[in-house]
Structure 1
Amino acid sequence: MASSTILSRKFIKPSPPTPSSHRHYNLSFRDQTANNLYLPIAALYSKPENHTITQISNILENSLSKILFFYYPFGGRIKDNKYVDCNDIGAEYFNVHINCQMSEILSNPYNDAIEIVFPQNLAWGNSLSEERSSLLVVQLSHFDCGGVGISICLSHKVADGYSGCKFLSDWVSMARDDHKLNFQLSCQFDGASFFPPIDNPPPMPNVVPDPERCVSRMYNLSSSTLLKLKDIVVSTNPQIQNPSRIEVATALFHKCGVDVSMAKSGVFRRTVLFHVMNLRPPIPFNTIGNATCYFSTRAMSIDKTTLPNYVGELQKAKQQIRYELKDMNTKELALHAIEKIKEIVNIAKDDCFDMYFCTSLCTFGSRKIDFGWGSPLRVTHVKDPMKNKFIFMDDPSGEGINVLITLTEADMLLFESNKELLEFASPVVQSLE
């Protein structure tokens, strides 16, 4: 079994230091209501031909210090769930050796093996303790074969998925010394102007790991498969216009989840699928922080569990939420967000529903993480602490989709043998041999 040895641990501070005028950063309402989990993403690379581990670490440390000047809240500490003290304590940085071949990780049928490249006991925690209060934690991992892994864990209190990918993209550009990017204009910490903070924000439901053991697997939907799914949906229901690849992929995995539930219980259970929508636009693309909202789709009877119906309901829900949000002022946006949080809490208490959550990082650039030694062999996340979670990412081609699925161990055994799943999706397993 693979094990890791920490070779060094340090804090990387912003350089130059954060100006005194920027030392106090107010959290937005959406930041305040975000849970305390970390957003974990990792990229794995084959053995770099022209860089030693020492050179790689130097590049990462120097560029991280420079980019933190522009992303200065990430090097600070949260105070009272109200603001970030941008005190330049810095990001936590680990240099770790992993005593196995990278192929053992990449060829493992379950994505859980990737956890070795993340700082231990961090990505799954639900609180920012005094001991572990860093908002950004980075780990450089090197394997016996010479392969390299780079992982970041960014507190959800200061970033959503879009912000995390934007930070990673800017860091990569800084590491490659890409002067074409105007870093001064690339990010703005102005979320509080769109979601003004409040004194007593409603808490999100506590993220308590499921009592049943959860596992994760990654599946790929190729561009040709996505086109086939779109054709099936449109030919069955011509009223559906231009379904997106995320819509048809979401419909497929939701339907497979319902199939698993019916296989276990023998009866149909109502389902609700919560989606995360990026609010950029209308909020500017360079706004860093949490700028998302939730909406949901439901299947209340078995006759609604078809791919065209799922896609149709998803399109209706997206149109409705956009209509609701388009003319809202900041106060109304906050009230809308509160109601959606209450909806999640109430449904979580209702045992009559099977709940699913999905979020997409597609088009955010997470597959292009080339610090200067080539493109990654795989980009992925750790499994979610909660079951029934789907995370969508661009595959290496940029046209297909990789989907990271977290289910209970018992459900995964049924899910991975689902005929409809196997018709359209392929497990992501690769070897360096």
Structure 2
Amino acid sequence: MAEKYDIISKDTIKPSSPTPNHLHHFKLSFLDQLAPSFRVPILLFYSASDVRTFAATDLGALSQKLKTSLSQVLTLYYPFCGRLRDSSIIECNDEGVLFIHSKLPIELSNILKNPQLHTLYELLPCPPYNLEPQQSDTSGIMAVQLNQFKCGGIALGVCFSHKIADASTAASFLNVWAATSRGNGTNNLVPPPMEQTSLLFPPRNISVDMTSGLVGQEKTVTKRLMFSGSSISRLRQTVACPGFNPSRVEAVTTLLWKSSLEAAKESLDSGEEKIVASAVSHTVNIRSRMVPSLSKHSVGNIWQYALSSLVEAEGVVGLRDLAERMRETIGKVDGDYIKKLQSDEFVEVVQTIEEARRVVAEKGIEGYGFTSWVGFEFYEVDFGWGKHKLCYHHCCAHKKFWNFDEHKGWRWHRSMAYLDRT
């Protein structure tokens, strides 16, 4: 971003009511311990017309409304204004959440027409993949940046520590915050299940670096691929057969896997045997897969990696074969798998993940990681001036990583990515 943005204000938002003494130490779960150390970054964009309808030209009042409602919500999500002290404890001492209000001398459309990662990063309150700050005693669990554009549009950037928040947790928090901002208050809100995950998946005495190979290991390139709803419907029909009807996620994920495999084969030197070995992983939200199932508002990293077996691609790769392999891979994360995570057999699960990562890294196997945010209700976030028009989310993974948006799209190549809605 060539233009410099001005910081209008920088505040620390604390909960409107102090956290009770018996809640001052929040235990992370075993699944939180396995989560990467970086932050989950989200950008919500709102048009100038929507913002003016709500706040006219007084964006200072809008900023204050966000701060006040955030303070109220932090009484429910009290660990979010604490500090991570070690691998298993958040000290809930009400140190607060950083809130930055910035003003940029550019039009919002300039960013949306040709989004670039370095530009989007400047709209966030902190570097999402800088691992060092999160290991400091002074690091925050959450931070917010309200970006005000020349046209009157705004972008709300929020970063959550991945040690306590996954996509489902982030979406739930944003919707509760938005409802409070609309004037619903917190009296009618059901407190989110906070300690449930650590009880079901108690912390373990382990040391696993889940960010190894994910961040900062190679040059990152970001690309956006757009699929219309009609194109996805045709793709699903192409892959379908009697007894197998792929979902949108399965169909598009499979197409990207197939395309990546064919590109990998084409990149081989002439004379090399055109066989490419690959494996995929897919993140799986396990809230609904548990018995009994957990609330979608449960706080924590309640997800797992689904790892495929090795696939050797020779000749034409069949879409349907890959789609069935993808469904089989995701299906492995079932009730029995979750019981292993809750028992002493958790060691076996961790070793499997570590071994898969080692093989991909050491043997040059094409590893592809996928994630889906379908159903997480990010597009329902309404602070009182309408639902946002675009949502950008960045992630990373080893080798190549793609992300699917429930409404229209898919994007990326080579580690970093974002999703949007058009």
TM (norm. structure 1) is 0.86
- How much identity, in percent, do the aligned residues show? 25
Residue of structure 2 equivalent to 1:54: 60
Letter in structure 1 aligned against 2:294 = P
1:293 aligns with 2:304: yes
Distance 1:343 1:165, change over 3 A: farther
Residue of structure 2 equivalent to 1:361: 373
Structure 1 stretch displaced more, 290-299 or 323-332: 323-332
Letter in structure 1 aligned against 2:11 = K
Consecutive unaligned residues in structure 1, runs of 5 or more: 413-426
Counterpart-to-counterpart distance in 1, 2:214 and 2:95: 29
Distance 1:244 1:181, change over 3 A: farther
Distance 1:172 1:332, change over 3 A: farther
Counterpart-to-counterpart distance in 2, 1:319 and 1:428: 27
Which of 249, 257, 260 lines up with 1:257 in the alignment? 260
Distance 1:20 1:323, change over 3 A: closer
SS of the aligned residue for 1:186 comes to coil
Residue of structure 2 equivalent to 1:422: none
SS of the aligned residue for 2:394 comes to coil
Cα offset for 1:13? Answer: 0.7
Residue of structure 1 equivalent to 2:358: 346
Residue of structure 2 equivalent to 1:85: 91
Distance 1:191 1:429, change over 3 A: closer
Residue of structure 1 equivalent to 2:280: 273
Aligned partners of 2:306 and 2:332 also within 8 Å: no
Structure 1 stretch displaced more, 47-56 or 346-355: 346-355
Counterpart-to-counterpart distance in 1, 2:7 and 2:181: 23
Cα offset for 1:367? Answer: 1.4
Counterpart-to-counterpart distance in 2, 1:207 and 1:310: 25
Distance 1:263 1:117, change over 3 A: same
1:96 aligns with 2:99: no
What aligned pairs does 1:320-335 form with structure 2 within 5 A after superposition?
A: 320-322=332-334, 324-325=336-337, 328=340, 330-332=342-344, 334-335=346-347
SS of the aligned residue for 1:199 comes to coil
Distance 1:24 1:383, change over 3 A: closer
Residue of structure 2 equivalent to 1:284: 294
Which of 207, 211, 214 lines up with 1:201 in the alignment? 207
TM (norm. structure 2) is 0.88
Residue of structure 1 equivalent to 2:7: 6
Larger relative contact order (Cα-Cα within 8 Å, sequence gap ≥ 6):
1
Aligned partners of 2:43 and 2:393 also within 8 Å: yes
What aligned pairs does 1:106-125 form with structure 2 within 5 A after superposition?
A: 106-108=112-114, 110=116, 112-120=118-126, 122-125=127-130
1:170 aligns with 2:171: no
1:238 aligns with 2:242: yes
Aligned partners of 2:83 and 2:93 also within 8 Å: yes
Residue of structure 2 equivalent to 1:415: none
Aligned partners of 2:304 and 2:333 also within 8 Å: no
Which of 374, 390, 399 lines up with 1:378 in the alignment? 390
Residue of structure 1 equivalent to 2:321: 309
Please give the per-residue CA displacement for 1:190-230, whole angstroms capped at 9, x wherever unaligned: 21111111123333242564554312233333322221111
Letter in structure 2 aligned against 1:220 = M
Which of 186, 189, 197 lines up with 2:195 in the alignment? 189
Please give the per-residue CA displacement for 1:231-260, whole angstroms capped at 9, x wherever unaligned: 1011xx434x22111111110111222232
Counterpart-to-counterpart distance in 2, 1:150 and 1:342: 36
Distance 1:15 1:406, change over 3 A: farther
Cα offset for 1:369? Answer: 2.0
Cα offset for 1:84? Answer: 0.6
Structure 1 stretch displaced more, 104-113 or 181-190: 181-190
Distance 1:270 1:207, change over 3 A: closer
SS of the aligned residue for 2:42 comes to strand
Aligned partners of 1:27 and 1:192 also within 8 Å: yes
Residue of structure 2 equivalent to 1:418: none
Counterpart-to-counterpart distance in 1, 2:30 and 2:311: 31
Counterpart-to-counterpart distance in 1, 2:106 and 2:221: 21
Structure 1 stretch displaced more, 354-363 or 277-286: 277-286
Aligned residues: 405
Residue of structure 1 equivalent to 2:32: 31
Distance 1:112 1:382, change over 3 A: farther
Aligned partners of 2:80 and 2:141 also within 8 Å: yes
Consecutive unaligned residues in structure 2, runs of 5 or more: none
Cα offset for 1:320? Answer: 2.9
Structure 1 stretch displaced more, 28-37 or 206-215: 206-215
Distance 1:86 1:378, change over 3 A: same
Distance 1:114 1:77, change over 3 A: same
Aligned partners of 1:195 and 1:334 also within 8 Å: no
Cα offset for 1:181? Answer: 8.5
Counterpart-to-counterpart distance in 2, 1:261 and 1:105: 32
Counterpart-to-counterpart distance in 2, 1:22 and 1:404: 41
Distance 1:245 1:208, change over 3 A: closer
Please give the per-residue CA displacement for 1:128-176, whole angstroms capped at 9, x wherever unaligned: 1438611101100011111100011000111111111111111111111
Counterpart-to-counterpart distance in 1, 2:13 and 2:236: 47
Counterpart-to-counterpart distance in 1, 2:76 and 2:335: 34
